[in-house]
Amino acid sequence: MLDYRQLDWKLITATLALSLIGIILIMSAQYYADTDYQQHYYQRQIIWLLFALVVFTVVIHLPMRIFDVSAYLLFFITLVLLVLVLILGSSRGGASRWFSFGPINLAPSDIAKLTLVFALSRFFAYTKLPVISKRRLALSGLMTLIPVMLIIKQPDLGTSLVFFVILFALWFWSGMSPWYLLLILSPLISLVTASHWLSWAVYFVVLLSFLAFLKPGMLNSTVVVIFNLAFGIITPFIWNRMAEYQRLRIKTFFDPSLDPRGAGYQIIQSKIAIGSGGILGKGPLGGSQTRLEFLPERHTDFIFSVLGEEFGLWGSLLVLLLFTFIFYRAIRIAARCRSRFASGVVMGAVAILLFQFLINIGMTLGFMPVTGLALPFLSYGGTALVLSWTLIGLIISADYRWQEY
Amino acid sequence: MERYKISLAGREKISLVVVAIVILLLVVGLVKLQLIDHSEFLEKSESNRIRVVPITPRRGVVYDREGKVLIDNRPSYTVSVVPAEEVKGKTLPNLGQVISLDTLEIRKRIKKNMVSRYQPAPVKKDIPFDVVAILEEQNRIFPGISYQMERVRQYPVELGCEAFSGYVGEVSEEQLGKNKMYNYRLGSMIGKEGLEKYYDNLLRGNEGTAYIEVSASGQILGPYEGRKKIEAVPGSDLTLTIDLDLQRTGVEAIDTFCCGAIVALDPRSGEVLAMLSYPNYDANIFSSVIPESLWLEISSDSTHPLLNRPLNGLYPPGSTTKLLTVGAGLEEGLINENTTFKPCLGGMQFGNRFFRCWYAGGHGRLTAVHAIEQSCDVYMYQLGLKLGVDVMSRYFDLCGFGRTTGIDLPNEYAGLNPNSEYYDKRYGVNKWTQALALNNAIGQGEILVTPLQLAQFYCGLANGGVVYRPHIVKKISKSSGEQISVSPVMSFKLPFSERTLELLKEGLRLVVEGERGTARGLHNKYYAVGGKTGTAQNPHGEDHSWFVGVAPLDNPEIVVCAIVENAGHGSEVAAPLVGKVIRTYMDKKTRRENLARVADGGDR
């Protein structure tokens, strides 16, 4: 039987606080909505929270080994689900991302995040391959790419980014030097800087001096340079093959005023909402941006804007503080775990939460692109809430069992 | 290979640093938005949801002197588009179908009239009411469309009031920029001519402001309570000195001719009783958007309907200023009531030119009053020679010619009163002779007057020399209930002694009642009329026909001046016209007096 006193109650409390703040914000965001259905989003979120707590309780009672031994099986099942959702999933706005069971929408991509963490953690925990061996990199990369390909097909660019972040985080956590990680990621930097030849040239000078300093060997250096060259050259081709809405998102990310009624509109209105909140905010239900529906997606992607408008700087900082606490606690736990698998799972969880946290809030503040990534614990959405609480459950569980190998 | 590995403690540290960087990034972003740029965004969020709606005040109604409505307002609907709420591919095509405009044109008008993205930009004015009903009933398919009821000026077309009413129109961008017109916005109506322009500040009132709250979809949620609505102050109503019956008589009388003007003044106060320019135009078309074709038609019409003849029509006065010539002669002591000159034999030789009298048979030897009665040119030539160009010019000036009357209407012309300085400039020093004085003496030559100036001069003759400044507004009724009556203002005195004035008045009487008077047709047994005919030669065609009438002559109450362009002798055309106006006036006066007598009798 679990010794409840040994659980990390501070971490649980912080998470619960975030979830409750989320419910308050959802209620406020849709209080003046047109339909009953919209007005009662918060009630559904409460039910989801209760369900998430049940899942959480189950997770902390399960031994870590269960996830360890079944990691590959779960991952395989997820891949099957991802294929099935492409065929059977309900589509909305041209994207089929969910299985619909009555009112419940189950997104297999959410589950895939979790099972990829399991699979990669298991792989890194037991592999004897050296940290930077090519087989190690290729195998782990392949494990990540399969779900990513399936999800990009849905299409869901934002979510697929999360999978790469999980991969990079676990590469790093399994011992890879961040400098080396940077070299691996360098082609991506090429991709971005290649939008202008000058920025690309400057970047290339930096890259070459970096290689001279790090001395990763002639062969590796050559590979890095070739990849960088290749990415820099193919950027225009990729750009031209992108869907118009994707290009627009990238363009309006750099300049929201380009499309004040479309993609830029959301960012502009979100910035107005948060900025007009000031230090003290306009009070619950007092946000005119929220109430008058200037704020789009206000109960999901832009829930932080509601927080910023109605509760101001102090409310926003409180939420940042709670998240900081969770991340700090989780990283300490990851470092303490004796089980390499458990440690990897905790780090993977941190990666998922931190990345979504950064991208989502960064988007509402106007310096991150509009990717459609929700804010963990606060945004409306059942499966996302259950997943987030599952991740917390795993962290708590890893902490409780930190001495187990 | 150890170089590529990192210890657990190192990894933990780096992870924590990454978290710290992420948090720091977000905190900086938050502080920038919520602390540094807070006020800017607060303003934006306010302008997001609060729409400032100007409330146009009711423009003042204009009445005639008896309280009959002359210029009124009627409701008119303007459809507008709120640019920020417009849905591409939906709003404009749907709207275009209803108001029959293509999308491109609507887009052009929005761009032209846009104040801010959140304020309605007018697209089409004066749309029919059934279109308004469609917009109202099916507002779902017209996102971002709003319409406003406004009042549009309504002018009486058939009364020829344009000469003094003027019209209103949208304030032009040029006007907005040039003057500091902070009270006007793009799309504001402003008086463009006539009393609409002169009294614009009184008529327009003060614009009010309403603040309404709107949702993102443009739905109006009702008044915004944070700011107090500023009520509009209606414009002042004006009661004019104009008598609609006289105005109507004038229009009906002049209707058979091509072009002309009538001005009727009350010599006792300077009140304008009637004023019209013919042909007139429909002032109503200027209140809304004028179709180009219509504008071309009006502005290129050879009869110049846009020319405001009473104020801007410049004509040689012809024989009508012979009284001035005689008056000047008497005042200068060159003649007296018995003085006669060489007899008129149908003309006279001066230098190498023969100056004809209008009556080829010759008038014989005449005294001053009879020279006026028969409008003898030869008498005037000889008197003009004695006076000389500059003395004549001085008298013209003292009688109000060559300068504006100061009537309360805009853009009045001063006319032209030539003197030797002018002639020196025009012909060169010593390049002209006193022969010009001969022309001036009979109201010909370079001298140009407006019908209003001529009427004003006769008011002075009728009123013992005292000239009141012509004015058209009798009473201003402010929306607060305050009433301001306009009292007559003395403008100047004619440079004639009482004795001279008496003689001139006798001349006026003889023109109508004398045996050989030029306007004997106006003689009647009910009231005494005086007047003077004029036949003004002009280089553009047939002579202009003038007549200025004064009635009742013993105690004048009305002076009517009429000119009919290119119509021939004053006695044949203009005199009967003036007679009709005077008759209407006298009939009304008699009726009024009879009514008063009956009322008095009832009391007893």
Residue boundaries of the structural domains of chain B? 50-208+230-235, 250-277+309-593
Q: Mean per-residue pLDDT for B505-521? A: 90
- Does residue A152 fall inside a structural domain? yes
Same domain, A323 and A403: yes
Q: Mean per-residue pLDDT for A268-294? A: 82
Same domain, A230 and A265: no
Mutation for testing the A interface, residue in B12, B23, B47 having most A CBs under 10 Å: B23
B3 touches chain A (CB under 8 A): yes
Same domain, A77 and A160: yes
Residue of A nearest to B9 (CA): A335
Using the Cα atoms of residue A11, residue A12, residue A13 and residue A18 in order, give the sign of their dihedral: positive
Q: Mean per-residue pLDDT for A378-382? A: 90
What is the topology classification, in CATH, of domain B250-277+309-593? Beta-lactamase (3.40.710)
B426 touches chain A (CB under 8 A): no
Alpha-helical segments (H) within B234-345: 244-254, 292-299, 309-312, 322-331
pLDDT over 90 at A219, yes or no: no
Same domain, A21 and A79: no
- Under an 8 A CB cutoff, do A175 and B11 touch? yes
Chain B closest-CA separation from residue A373 CA (Å): 16
- Please enumerate in sequence order all residues whose Cβ is within 8 A of that of B492, keeping only pairs 6 or more positions apart, or say none: B398, B400, B467
Percent of chain A scoring above 70 in pLDDT: 92
- Does residue A388 fall inside a structural domain? yes
Residue scoring higher pLDDT (B135 or A19): A19
Taking only the tens place, the pLDDT of each residue in B290-312 is: 677 887 888 788 888 888 999 99
- Under an 8 A CB cutoff, do A131 and B5 touch? yes
- Does residue A329 fall inside a structural domain? yes
Chain A closest-CA separation from residue B306 CA (Å): 48
Say what the pLDDT of residue B42 is: 87
Say what the pLDDT of residue B1 is: 42
Same domain, A152 and A170: yes
Asked whether this chain's domains B50-208+230-235 and B250-277+309-593 adopt the same fold, the reply is no
Band (B178; pLDDT cuts 50, 70, 90) = low
Residue of B nearest to A317 (CA): B27
- Under an 8 A CB cutoff, do A177 and B44 touch? no
Q: Is the peptide bond before B279 cis (omega within 30 degrees of 0)?
A: yes
- Which CATH number is associated with domain B50-208+230-235? 3.90.1310.10
Same domain, A45 and A131: no
Buried/exposed B137-166: b ≥16 CB within 10 Å, e otherwise = eeeeebbbbbbbebbbbbbbeebbbbbbbb
pLDDT over 60 at B98, yes or no: yes
- The C-alpha atoms of residue B351 and residue A268 are separated, in whole angstroms, by 90
Cβ-contact A284, A28 below 8 angstroms: yes
- Does residue A377 fall inside a structural domain? yes
Q: Which amino acid is at B12?
A: E
Taking only the tens place, the pLDDT of each residue in B419-433 is: 999 999 999 888 888
- Under an 8 A CB cutoff, do A177 and B19 touch? no
Taking only the tens place, the pLDDT of each residue in A16-60 is: 999 999 999 999 888 877 677 878 889 999 999 999 999 999 999
Same domain, A170 and A185: no
- What residues of chain A lie within 8 A of the CB of B92, using their CB? none
Count of domains for chain A: 3
Strand partners for A110 = none
Q: Which two tokens stand for residue A28?
A: 């406020």
- The C-alpha atoms of residue B44 and residue A274 are separated, in whole angstroms, by 11
- Does residue A246 fall inside a structural domain? no
- Does residue A249 fall inside a structural domain? no
Same domain, A137 and A221: no
- Under an 8 A CB cutoff, do A131 and B1 touch? yes
Strand partners for B532 = B548
Same domain, A110 and A198: no
Same domain, A156 and A79: yes
Residue scoring higher pLDDT (B215 or B163): B163
Lowest mean pLDDT among A29-43, B63-77, B324-338: A29-43
pTM: 0.63
- Does residue A247 fall inside a structural domain? no
Say what the pLDDT of residue A103 is: 66
Same domain, A95 and A113: yes
Chain B closest-CA separation from residue A175 CA (Å): 5
Average pLDDT, chain B: 88
Taking only the tens place, the pLDDT of each residue in B198-224 is: 999 899 888 888 877 776 656 667 777
Chain A closest-CA separation from residue B298 CA (Å): 45
Domain that holds residue A84: 64-176
Say what the pLDDT of residue B121 is: 85
DSSP letter at B315? Answer: B
DSSP string, A119-179: HHHHHHHH--S-TT-HHHHHHHHHHHHHHHHHHHTTT-HHHHHHHHHHHHHHHHHTTB-HH
- The C-alpha atoms of residue A66 and residue A327 are separated, in whole angstroms, by 25
pLDDT over 80 at B490, yes or no: yes
Residue where a domain stops, chosen among A241, A272, A290: A241
B485 touches chain A (CB under 8 A): no
- Under an 8 A CB cutoff, do B44 and A276 touch? yes
Band (A255; pLDDT cuts 50, 70, 90) = low
- The C-alpha atoms of residue A353 and residue A231 are separated, in whole angstroms, by 29
Q: Hey, which residues 22-51 in chain B have their CB within 8 Å of chain A?
A: 22-23, 25-27, 29-31, 33-35, 37-38, 40-42, 44-46, 48-49
Q: Which of B4, B11, B88 sits opposite A180 (nearest CB)?
A: B4
- What residues of chain B lie within 8 A of the CB of A261, using their CB? 88
In Å, how far are A259, B48, B236, B275, B436 from B112, measured between CA atoms?
A: 21, 22, 31, 38, 56
Mutation for testing the B interface, residue in A30, A177, A267, A338 having most B CBs under 10 Å: A177
Chain B closest-CA separation from residue A228 CA (Å): 20
Distance of CA A259 to the CA centre of its chain: 26
Mutation for testing the A interface, residue in B26, B35, B118, B215 having most A CBs under 10 Å: B26
Angle, vertex CA B280, rays to CA B274 and CA B286, nearest 5: 110
Q: Which of B48, B214, B215 sits opposite A272 (nearest CB)?
A: B48
Lowest mean pLDDT among A185-194, A393-402, B73-82: A185-194
Say what the pLDDT of residue B217 is: 59
Chain A closest-CA separation from residue B42 CA (Å): 4
pLDDT over 90 at B470, yes or no: yes
Residue scoring higher pLDDT (B598 or A327): A327
Same domain, A260 and A399: yes
Say what the pLDDT of residue B604 is: 47
* Count of pairs with CB atoms under 8 A, one residue in A, one in B: 143
Q: Mean per-residue pLDDT for B312-333? A: 93
Cβ-contact B163, B132 below 8 angstroms: no
Residue where a domain stops, chosen among A127, A153, A176: A176
Q: Mean per-residue pLDDT for B392-413? A: 94
Percent of chain B scoring above 90 in pLDDT: 50
- Does residue A248 fall inside a structural domain? no
- Please enumerate in sequence order all residues whose Cβ is within 8 A of that of B593, keeping only pairs 6 or more positions apart, or say none: none
Band (B84; pLDDT cuts 50, 70, 90) = confident
Q: Mean per-residue pLDDT for A142-153? A: 89
pLDDT over 60 at A391, yes or no: yes
